[in-house]
Structure 1
């Protein structure tokens, strides 16, 4: 049962950080509006969060952490009844699986994501050349000032507020004299807007999903790597997302039924493979388009 659960939690695609902390954090909620396809007219929206402690900030898609209570109830039922339950039917999967950690005060960035059951992180040397303009604007409840920069092959316009004294922002953005309240590229492929914030006492980096992953054998310790090695391994994972699954499940096990279910392990694997490929195919419009162009040249 434990092995089958560990296989399932691969598909959550939730990046978990190596250490758990309990401290006070400021959580900023951003509404991210984006074009998933380059030629898409339809826009999609997700909520992303930026958690800021005294030591660092962590940016991620809020989709899975927001459903912790639903996942907790489902997992506790599975553990109590010893019967399989397809949790993927109950929860909405994230659009973005990575975390971005900025370590204070030097703002050294680390990009963290999972490849199958393994969690990897690489240092990302990101520098911004901001042009701070005199133009000011009210964005929501905040008095903000305009700034522009170029990053990832796109031109960006940001609005920051000195009312919130964090020189940080969503995704990889940072370095203005206050928190970035809104930022979008010139073609409006990606746009973040601050939608709320709250203070969290006894803050823990690991969500319930992270803890369940760790409990059932999915490592939550970050393995250091380089960007080049990560990109190569991630590309291979996208082509065959269930390769590690097949290595762990014998041909005899493929025809076995999931506990308390009519679904075989083989059928389960095929379903998860489709989910994984749907996840990867849902977005062909990366935030940093120059990375895609660089890969095509190689």
Structure 2
């Protein structure tokens, strides 16, 4: 039963991070509009957040954190009844699974994501060459000023507000004399717009779902590796996301039923694999079109 829990009780724990003590955070909500497919004009949207605390900021897709209470109730019910339930049918999956941490004041950036059952990341010292212009614009309630830069193979335009005293922004962007209120690339493939903010008392870096990682056999220990190695490992994971899981399930167990369910272990594995492949195949238009490998070829 213990091994089954590790594999299936909450497959959404694929996306995890690293813990920290409670503190107060300034949370900024950014609506991200993006084109998930290169050959399509279709626009998708997702809410993302930038949490700023004393020594760092954390950017992420807010889909999972917003459903934390639903996940908590479902998991507690499974533990109480000793039965398995496919939580993925109850919740909305995120568009992006990575997190980006910027350490203050160095602004060393850490990009992290889960590769199978482990949490990996790489560090970057990005120096944005911002060109601040005299153009100004009212965006929502904020008086903003325009700046441009090139990053990741795209040209970007940002609007920042000096009245918000954080030299930070969504995704990897930072370095302007005020919080970035809006930033988008020239082709409008990705566009972030500040849509709200709030103070979070007793802020915790981990959600309830992420805190369960260790309990169900998924490491929350962040392993820093070179960026090119991360990109290669992640690409291999996308090709076969259940490779590691298959090695942990003996062939004779595949026909066994999940506890309290008519679903077999083999069927649950296939469902989880489809969920992961659908997630990876939903976007072929990356924010950064220039990879580490591309840079080394030049």
Fold shared per TM-score above 0.5? yes
CA contact (8 A) 1:10 1:218 kept: no
SS at match of 1:170: coil
- Cα distance, 1:297 vs structure 2: 6.2
Give the aligned partner of residue 232 of structure 1: 232
TM-score by length of 2: 0.96
Partner in structure 1 of residue 75 of structure 2: 75
Specify every segment of 5 or more residues in structure 1 that has no aligned partner in the other structure, as ranges: none
Contact 2:11/2:88 (<8 A) preserved: no
- Asked if the contact 1:32/1:193 (under 8 Å) is kept, the reply is yes
- For residue 253 of structure 1, report the CA deviation from its aligned partner: 1.2
Q: Is the 8 A contact 1:10 1:117 kept in 2?
A: no
- 1:245 corresponds in structure 2 to 245
Residue by residue over 1:100-145, the C-alpha shift from the partner in whole angstroms, topping out at 9 and shown as x without a partner, is 0000001000111000100011112211000001111111111110
- Alignment map for 1:122-133 (pairs within 5 Å): 122-133=122-133
CA distance, structure 1, for counterparts of residue 289 and residue 243 of structure 2:
28
1-side partners of 2:119 and 2:11: how far apart?
11
Contact 2:11 2:272 in 1 (8 A): no
Count of residue pairs the alignment pairs up:
297
Q: How does 1:139-158 map to 2 (within 5 A)?
A: 139-158=139-158
Compute the TM-score of the two structures, normalised by the length of structure 1: 0.96
RMSD (Å) for aligned C-alpha atoms: 1.6
**Residue in structure 2 matched with residue 13 of structure 1 by the alignment:** 14
Flag structure 2 segments of 5+ consecutive residues without an equivalent: none
The whole-number CA distance in structure 1 between the counterparts of 2:292 and 2:107 is: 25
* 1:275 correspondence with 2:275: yes
Counterpart contact for 1:15–1:99, Cα < 8 Å: no
Matched position secondary structure for 2:171:
coil
Could you tell me whether the CA contact under 8 Å between 2:13 and 2:210 is conserved in 1? no
How does 1:131-210 map onto structure 2 within 5 Å?
131-210=131-210
